[in-house]
Structure 1
Amino acid sequence: MNLELRHLRVVCAIAETGSVTKAASTLGLAQPALTAQLQRIERTLGGPLFERDRRGARPTALGELVLARARVLLPAMKGLQDEAARLAGAADAPRRYRFGGVNSPILGRLVHRLAAEQPQAQITMYASWSVDELAQLVVGGRLDFVLTGVCGDSNPSAEFGLSWREVSIDPVLVLLPETHPLADRDEVQLVDLRHEQWVAAPGDGCFGDCFAAACARAGFTPRKLYETDVRGCVDLVDAGEAVALCQATFRPPAGLVTRRLAGVPLRWRLMFGWHPDSPAARVAELVLRTAQAAYDDSLTPHPAYLAWLVANPEFGVRRSGAPGPVADANRVRTA
């Protein structure tokens, strides 16, 4: 039997878990199958790699040697595969756009604009609740761009080496039934919602530490927090079971309304990311501008919010010397 990378992964898994049984579970294999595979690996290498007893599996001297080499080879091979995937995509850029999104409010409009401007382009989308998963897919050459949100002035993790740029910044709104006692107000004090239960979709950057901190500043601790998909959030609010945080351009269904939180205690920044060494980096600025234009498109159904943006230019798309919400306000008024 020739030794392969998958065999080194088996050895590493056993060493990391300290047990053949646990390693089998981690690798998705049956324990007898993994034991038989380990025995074949040991015969190929000429001796036992682990001492096994009731306390688990511990590497022998030969096992330590193999592990030392595996811990160099496996990351090197992973890096080679990632680089090869990025290079393999070079011929497809900019004719191919692969987007990943976490609750992105503009992805549909962004795709619509790109498809109109480049009818021959291949555009695909992948949704995930985890920005780390999407970043890993970009690093591995399986996605080109990521759209995700972060709370306040925070930024996505720098762990994966992606370049990040801001598309827009918006206040976080609250979604209420139109029969709610506070629904007749233009703005709602966060403290006036202290007796409510809350719901949000996974991946919403403002529903974790930022939300708890904002409630603490308002002098209360939020009651029960539900977490479900967007449809589930809407259903819970519609049933009167909870109120929800939502993005400013969210269009509520009949029976529900969105209201600003007074003083803007929570802000949501839409971020656009890519890998600086990927072929997609050559068109990243162009796609970023298209994403900002897609955000402007999303304002059209929200004339009241657009008017608020005109009075609060620190929100929305913050361009240098370029038309912003005022131009869009004029467009909406004359539409």
Structure 2
Amino acid sequence: MNLELRHLRVICAIAETGSVTKAASTLGLAQPALTAQLQRIERTLGGPLFERDRRGARPTALGELVLARARVLLPAMKGLQDEAARLASAGDAPRRYRIGGVNSPILGRLVHRLAAEQPQAQITTHASWSVDELAQLVAGGRLDYALTGVCGDSTPSADFGLCWREVAIDPVLVLLPEAHPLAGQDEVDLGDLRHEQWVAAPGDGCFGDCFAAACARAGFTPRKVYEVDVRGCIDLVDAGEAVALCQATFRPVAGLVTRRLAGIPLRWRLMLGWHPESPAARMADLVLDTALAAYTDALTPHPTYLAWLLRNPAFGVRRSTTTAVPTAGTGGVRTA
């Protein structure tokens, strides 16, 4: 048997988890199958790579040697694959836009504008609940752009080396049924929602640390939080079973209302990201301009919010203040 990269990944997984059983779960394999594979690898290399007992698996001297080489080879091969993917996409014709989105309120409008302005362009989209997954796909040349967001002034992760621009910043609103006792108010105090149940879509976002911190400042801990898809979020709010956070450009739904939270305890910044060394970087300004226009389109069904933006210039599009940050974003607000 010839040693392959997949065998090195097996060895690294066992070392990192400290257990063949845990490594099998991580790799999505049955434990007996992984054990048999490890035995074949050890026969190929001429000796045991791990000492195994009830406490787990610990590398032998031979195992440490193989691990040291594997930890150099695997990232190098990943880097080669990423560079090859970016190079392979450099000469694509017609123009191609591969856009990933996480709970984005303007993805549809962005695609519509790109398609109208460049009818021959190839436009594809990819959805994920994981911003890190999208950032990794962009860094690896499998996507061109990621459209996502960050809560408040949080600093996105720099692990993937992406360049990000701010499209707009909005206050986070609360989504209520029309019959809710607070639905008649222009603003709702977060503390007045202390007895509510909440609903959120999966993934990173404002139902993480920033929401918990905002509730703590308001003097309470959130009650039960349901986790369902976006359609399920709307259904639970409509049924009066829960309330939800939502983006300011949330598309109106009959029977539901959105209200600002008093004092704006939560903010959401819409971000567009790309890899600075990819072919997509050459078209980034055009895509950013299109995203800004798509955001403006998204305001049309919200005349009350648009009027509020005119009185609050710190929110909405702030093109003159946008700066590049070589980081990866985190998910935005939970109901798109």
Q: Aligned equivalents of 2:259 and 2:235: distance in 1?
A: 18
Structure of larger gyration radius:
1
Match in the other structure for 1:222: 222
Change (3 A) 1:32 1:94: same
Pair 1:100-2:96 in alignment: no
Q: Structure 2 stretches of 5 or more lacking a match?
A: 322-336
One-letter code aligned to 2:36: A
Question: Could you tell me which amino acid in structure 2 is paired with residue 172 of structure 1?
Answer: V
Q: Output the CA distance in 1 between the equivalents of 2:28 and 2:200.
A: 33
How far does the alpha carbon of each residue in 1:280-308 deviate from its partner, in whole angstroms, 9 at most, with x for none?
A: 11111211111011000111111111111
Counterpart of 1:258 in structure 2 is 258
* Amino acid across the alignment from 1:276: P
1:35-46 to 2 correspondences below 5 Å: 35-46=35-46
For residues 145-168 of structure 1, give each alpha carbon's deviation from its aligned partner in whole angstroms, at most 9, with x where no partner exists: 111121111132112111111100
Q: Which residue of 1 aligns with 2:156?
A: 156
Matches within 5 A, 1:231-310: 231-310=231-310
**Distance in structure 2 (CA, Å) of the matches to 1:61 and 1:253:** 64
Q: Percent identity?
A: 89
TM norm structure 2 = 0.89
Pick 1 or 2: higher relative contact order, CA cutoff 8 A, min separation 6: 2
Within 2, Cα distance between the matches of 1:183 and 1:171? 18
1:16 paired with 2:16, answer: yes
Which amino acid is 1:234 matched to? I
Between the aligned partners of 1:219 and 1:206, the Cα distance in structure 2 is 18
How many pairs does the alignment contain? Answer: 321
* 2:113 paired residue number: 113
Give, as a single letter, the amino acid of the residue that structure 1 aligns with 2:215: C
CA deviation after TM superposition for structure 1 residue 93, in Å: 7.3
1:138-185 CA-to-partner distances (Å, cap 9, x unmatched) read 111111111112111113211211111110011111111111122122
For 1:186-228, what per-residue CA distance to the aligned partner results, in whole angstroms no more than 9, with x for missing partners?
2222222222222222336222222222223233333222222
* Higher mean C-alpha deviation, range 25-34 or range 70-79: 25-34
Q: Corresponding residue for 1:209? A: 209
2: CA distance, partners of 1:222 / 1:33: 44
In the alignment, residue 24 of structure 2 is paired with which amino acid? Answer: A
Does 217-226 or 239-248 show the bigger shift? 217-226
Q: CA shift at 1:54, angstroms?
A: 4.0
RMSD of aligned alpha carbons: 1.9
Residue 315 of structure 1 and its aligned partner are, at CA, apart by: 0.8
Task: Tell me the secondary structure at the aligned position of residue 320 of structure 2.
Answer: coil
Q: Is the 8 Å Cα contact of residues 199 and 226 (structure 2) preserved in structure 1?
A: yes
1:103 Cα shift?
0.4
Q: CA deviation at 1:66?
A: 1.5
The answer for the alignment partner of 1:77 in structure 2 is: 77
Partner-residue secondary structure (3-state), 2:91: helix
Tell me which residue corresponds to 1:66.
Answer: 66
- Gap runs ≥5 in structure 1: 322-335
2-side partners of 1:110 and 1:21: how far apart? Answer: 45
Counterpart contact for 2:131–2:204, Cα < 8 Å: no
Query: Counterpart of 1:236 in structure 2: which amino acid?
Result: L
Alignment partners' CA distance in 2, 1:295 and 1:80: 37
Alpha-carbon distance in structure 2 between the residues aligned to 1:216 and 1:93: 53
Of 102-111 and 167-176, the range deviating more from structure 2: 167-176
Cα–Cα, structure 1 residues 197 and 116, in superposed 2: closer, same or farther, change >3 Å? same
2:298 aligned partner, one-letter code: S
Separation in structure 2 between the aligned mates of residue 32 and residue 227 of structure 1, nearest angstrom: 35
Please give the secondary structure, in 2, of the residue aligned with 1:176: strand
Match of 1:52 in 2: 52
For 2:240, give the aligned amino acid: G
